[in-house]
Structure 1
Amino acid sequence: MSRKRNTMLAVASLVGLCAGSVSADVVGKVGVDWIGNDIIVDAVADPEVKGVTCHVTYFDRSVIDRVKNGNWFEDPSNSAISCHQTGPIEIGNIDLSKGGDEVFKSGISLVWKKLVVNRIYDKQNDTLIYLVHSRELTDGSAKMAISTISLYGQNVVWKNGKPQ
C-alpha cells in the first residue's frame, strides 16, 4: 500500500474510534445552497432509555465550500435537537448526577471538534433533558440547544429502581 493510503486509513480509523458507540441514522438531508452545503437530520436512539429518540440537525459543508472558504477540516458548531417519546419508556443504568451521561458523540472536524448529546435527569421535575453542543479542544462553543421529555404521569419502568 502507498504511504498516502496508509495515512488516510489511519485517519479514518482514528475518526471512527472518536465517534460515540451509539449510532445515528441519517433520516433527512436538505440542500441549502447551490454549492452543495447540506443540513443533515440524524435519528439517535438513547441506548439507556428505551422509547426515546432524539433528532439532531447539523450543517455539512461541501467540498466547494471548503475550497472557497478554507478551513478544510471543520464543520460549523451549529446544531439543534428535538427528543420525543417513541415507545414505552424503560430507563436503564443512567448517571443521575448534574453532569449526566454522554449519549452520542460524532466528529465534526478531522480530529478535534465533536458534536455531543448529553442526557441529564432533573429529579425535582421528573424530566429527562437532552443537550446538544460542540466540544472543541481549545475553545468551547457557546452554541447549544436542549430538548426535554417529561416523565410526570408516565408509566416509566426503571430497571434499577426509581431514584429517591
Structure 2
Amino acid sequence: MKKLLSAVACLCLASPLAAEQVGEVGVDWVGNDIVIEAIQDPDVAGVTCHIAYFDRSMIDRLSKGNWFEDPSNASIACRQTGPITLGDIDRDEDGEDVFRTSRSIVLKSLRVKRIYDATNQTLIYVAHAAELTDGSAKVAISTVPLYGTNAATE
C-alpha cells in the first residue's frame, strides 16, 4: 500500500510543464491569495495560458484544519502570443495534459488539458480538478482560434 501511495504522490506532483508566477492578489487579512501563473503550451508555439487559483495561507490552514489541501477552483484564459505553430499534438477527442500540479498531498490535482477541434479550427484548453476519490465538476475553459493562421492548414 505504501508503494502505491508513493507512486500516486509522484504522479500527482509531476508536471509536464512549469508555470511562471506573474501575479498575486491578496484576498483577505489572513494572507489568502489568488495566484496567477503563465503557462506556455510546450507543443504549440505562440500560445500562452494564464491560470488563476486560490492559495490558502498558513493561518487559514491552522484555523480550519485541512492543512494539506487547496481548493480545486481555477480560472483559465489562453491567447495567441506569437505566431502559432502546431507541434506533434494529440488530435483525438481525449486531448492531452499540458499542465498538472498538486492541490493536496495525494488525492487532488489541478490539470490543464488541450483538445484540438479540427472542424472549427480551434484549440480548446480545459482546466479541471482531478480528485482520486470523487472527481470534480469544477471546470474552466478557454479557446484559441486557428482560423486565418498558418497553423489552421497544418
TM-score of the two chains, using structure 1 as the length reference = 0.85
- Structure 1 unaligned regions, length at least 5: 1-10
Equivalent of 1:19 in 14, 18, 32: 14
User: Number of paired residues?
Assistant: 147
Residue-by-residue CA offset, 1:46-101 (whole Å, 9 max, x unaligned):
00000000000000000100111111110001100000000010111111111001
Aligned residues of 1:90 and 1:157 also touching (Cα < 8 A)? no
1:44-123 superposed matches below 5 A: 44-123=39-118
CA distance in 2, matches of 1:104, 1:17: 11
The CA deviation at 1:111 is 1.9
Amino acid at match of 2:83: P
Equivalent of 2:143 in 140, 143, 148: 148
CA distance in 1, matches of 2:116, 2:88: 12
1:128-139 superposed matches below 5 A: 128-139=123-134
Amino acid at match of 2:145: S
Query: Deviation above 3 Å: which 4+ runs of structure 1?
Result: 14-17
Aligned residues of 2:146 and 2:152 also touching (Cα < 8 A)? no
Partner SS state of residue 156, structure 1 = helix
CA distance in 2, matches of 1:17, 1:122: 27
TM-score of the two chains, using structure 2 as the length reference = 0.90
Q: Find the counterpart in structure 2 of residue 41 from structure 1.
A: 36
Aligned residues of 1:59 and 1:79 also touching (Cα < 8 A)? yes
Aligned residues of 1:106 and 1:114 also touching (Cα < 8 A)? yes
Amino acid at match of 1:37: N
Give aligned-pair identity as a percent. Answer: 56
Equivalent of 1:30 in 4, 25, 29: 25
Amino acid at match of 1:83: C
Q: 1:16 to 1:64 in 2, by over 3 A?
A: farther
Q: RMSD between aligned alpha carbons? A: 1.7
Partner SS state of residue 150, structure 2 = coil
Aligned residues of 1:15 and 1:110 also touching (Cα < 8 A)? no
